[in-house]
Amino acid sequence: MTRSSSPVPPAGYEVRAAEWNDLATVMELFGPADLADWGELDVTEVSMRHDWEDPHLDLARDTWLVVEEDAPDRAVAYGSLLALAEHRQLQAWGVVHPSHRGRGVGGFLLDMAEAVAAEHAALAPPDGEIVLRPGVIGPDEAAHRLVESRGFRPIRHFWRMDAALTDDLLAPAPIPGIRLRSFDHGPDDRRVHAAIQESFAEHWGFIRRDFDQWSAHRFHESAFDPKLWFVAEEGDQIVGALQGVDEEGYAWVGLLGVRPTWRKRGIGEALLRHAFLEFRRLGYDRVGLSVDAANETGATALYERVGMRETRRFDIYEKRLR
């Protein structure tokens, strides 16, 4: 996508929007970047597909792929911006190949994020604030310095937490009146949607979606597998839900929520322990998730109780555009 005032990449580089046939190229970029930053692979093709399948992301407008002029088929950097809340909550992310760091490419990715954010800001309704929120991985000190030098302030920290799934996992303690079971795709759809919307209504950054929007996204993602979703039920009401994903052989908890009226009864812990047992039965030996370190419901302590430990930190910065 050509812009009338696009930022100019550093000398020797070109930029273009990513396309679906670039997925393998982007994954080849994340491999060495993850090894340099974390010492092991982090981003999977499943997670990239999850990002690119989001209905709020327009690949032609909201992604940018940086290549060398003499090697246009090999990505050296990638960035994206996800526009939520009617173009008012703008989430940006970027990665630079280790051998191309220190050459101004990271600064260019941030230039692009701000330029694309300005386009979205022009589309936003006239009311409410507009914020740009780039994410920075914990160990990338240069990226932290960069965003801070551009006027962004840190506002939130997220943990990745992981645990081994072993054959001696504890079963959930019985909770009077509560039944734990697998999600039944079709009959449970609307009740799970309602439970999730209510569970997360007060959480930082949560965007409410109606059933049609939510189901069109969640049930048509390539990673959707109803075998990895579980619910807590009392009578005919679904009071909690857990959405799992297969991250290339690794069980991932994409979401866990309990409706406010049913909290403080151990339902969240019971759902986790139930899911862990099912994950193990299906052959998984590791499980992971991401959690807001300032989660309003104390989720980090819950995850520690079931044996999960913090393994990585991700920081969210913010600049108010309006």
- What are 132-172's pLDDT values in tens digits? 999 999 999 999 999 999 999 999 999 999 999 999 999 99
More confident residue, 205 or 121: 121
CATH code of 162-313, in short, is 3.40.630.30
pLDDT band, very low/low/confident/very high, at 112 (cuts 50, 70, 90):
very high
Average pLDDT of the residues of the chain:
96
What gap in Å lies between CA 153 and CA 140, rounded to an integer? Answer: 16
pLDDT digits (tens, 9 = 90+) for 199-238: 999 899 899 999 999 999 999 999 999 999 999 999 999 9
What is the mean pLDDT of the segment spanning 250-279? 97
CB 273 within 8 Å of CB 172: yes
CA 93 to chain centre: 11
Taking the C-alpha atoms of residue 255 and residue 232, their distance in angstroms, rounded to an integer, is 14
Alpha carbons 202 and 102: distance in angstroms, whole number: 40
Write the DSSP string, 281-295: HTT--EEEEEEETT-
CATH top class, domain 13-151: alpha beta
The neighbouring-strand residues paired with 230 are 182, 242
Identify the pLDDT of residue 2.
44
Cα–Cα distance for residue pair 121/130, rounded to 1 Å: 7
Please say if the pLDDT value at position 1 is more than 50.
no
Please name which of 155, 173, 159, 139 lies closest in space to residue 304, comparing C-alpha atoms.
159
Whole-structure pTM value: 0.93
**pLDDT tens, 24-72?**
999 999 999 999 999 999 999 999 999 999 999 999 999 999 999 999 9
Domain with CATH 3.40.630.30 in the chain: 13-151, 162-313
Q: CA 207, 212, 216: angle at the middle one, nearest 5? A: 90
